[in-house]
Amino acid sequence: QMRSTRKVSVWPVGLVGGRRYERPLVENGKVVSWYTGWRADRPFAVDMAGFAVSLQVILAHPKAVFKRRGSQPGMQESDFLKQITTVEELEPKANNCTKVLVWHTRTEKVNLANEPKYHVDTVNIEV
């Protein structure tokens, strides 16, 4: 699905942010908000495994950088994406962000500390 990215596309990521998954919330084919366990107020509350950028966008924004230092914790993705796109322009993938096709994995026990006690998302996603 990344191959069809025209500008910047997004999708859910499993096992991230202390939850089973995080995802963009989509209405009428547009990203309107975020289902996340951490700082939903971020401009782009997405994990770095949850988006793709077309080469044309990178070439059109040669000064855009993904900062290793200088961003607040957890804000690297937002700081980068603000330089190249807007939330309104995001292209939802993975069946309007209702399917987990990417997992944020580590060689350690999964942390689900931010998982809500009761399922509060509007869709039932298998992880």
CATH number at residue 87: 3.90.550.10
pLDDT of residue 111: 80
Residue 23: count other Cβ atoms within 10 Å of its Cβ: 30
Average pLDDT over residues 104-120: 79
Domain extent for 96: 1-126
Q: How many domains does the chain have?
A: 1
Average pLDDT over residues 24-34: 97
The residue type at 98: T
- Spatial distance between the Cα atoms of 115 and 28, rounded to a whole number of angstroms: 27
> In this predicted structure, which of 47-61, 77-91, 107-121 has the lowest mean pLDDT?
107-121
- Spatial distance between the Cα atoms of 122 and 110, rounded to a whole number of angstroms: 23
Given a cut of 80, is residue 37 above it in pLDDT? yes
126 is an active site residue:
no
- Catalytic residue chosen out of the listed positions 22, 27, 77, 89: 77
Q: Which stretches of the chain are assigned E, i.e. beta strand? A: 8-10, 13-16, 19-27, 30-35, 51-53, 91-92
Beta-carbon contacts of 77 under 8 Å, excluding residues fewer than 6 positions away, are: 42, 44, 46, 47, 48, 51
Query: Whose CA is closest to 56, among 3, 7, 4?
Result: 7
